[in-house]
Amino acid sequence: MRGVGDFAIPNDWKSKRDWQRIHESSPQRFVVSSPVDSHDPRHNDLRLPRATFLLDQPAPEIPTALINLDRPFHIIIAPADALETKTGREFFSIHAHIRDYDLIRRLGEL
């Protein structure tokens, strides 16, 4: 994902070959790996665009701290049944979002 410099992914993904080579897709040839459950371990010192993957459990809760993460760009990738921690409501019923197939289509247009 060009432009994204900070990835928060499930720990078991980190041993996969594609992840170990993700830096090759970066213009800078490096990426930062943040823990999924740590919403801003660097206190925005780096302010890198971030992608957070919450795909390792069904109906994950999305904490307010993650929603409010202050970055130039932040995308949260989660299942359709994800919940907002603060309200317990379905996250995508109350927050702007894009469906996975629409995202793939739009990325293909770039």
pLDDT along the chain (110 residues), means of 10: 74 80 76 74 70 87 84 86 88 79 69
Question: Which structural domain range is residue 21 located in?
Answer: 6-109
Domain presence at residue 98: yes
Q: Tell me the DSSP string of 19-70.
A: HHTGGGGSTTS--EEEETT-S-TTTTSS---EEEE--SSSS-EE-HHHHT--
Does any domain span residue 44?
A: yes
Q: How far is CA 58 from CA 8, 15, 79, 102, 109, in A?
A: 17, 21, 7, 21, 30
DSSP state of 2: T
Residue 82 near residue 63, CB atoms below 8 Å = no
pTM over the 0.75 mark: no
Tell me, yes or no, whether 1 lies in a domain: no
The verdict on residue 41 lying in a domain is: yes
Q: Residue 40: its pLDDT value, please?
A: 63
> Looking at the 3D structure of the chain, how many domains does it have?
1
Predicted local distance difference test score (pLDDT) of residue 24:
78
pLDDT of residue 30: 78
Measure the CA–CA gap between 105 and 71, rounded to whole angstroms. 24
Residue 103 is assigned to a structural domain of this protein: yes
State which amino acid sits at residue 4. V
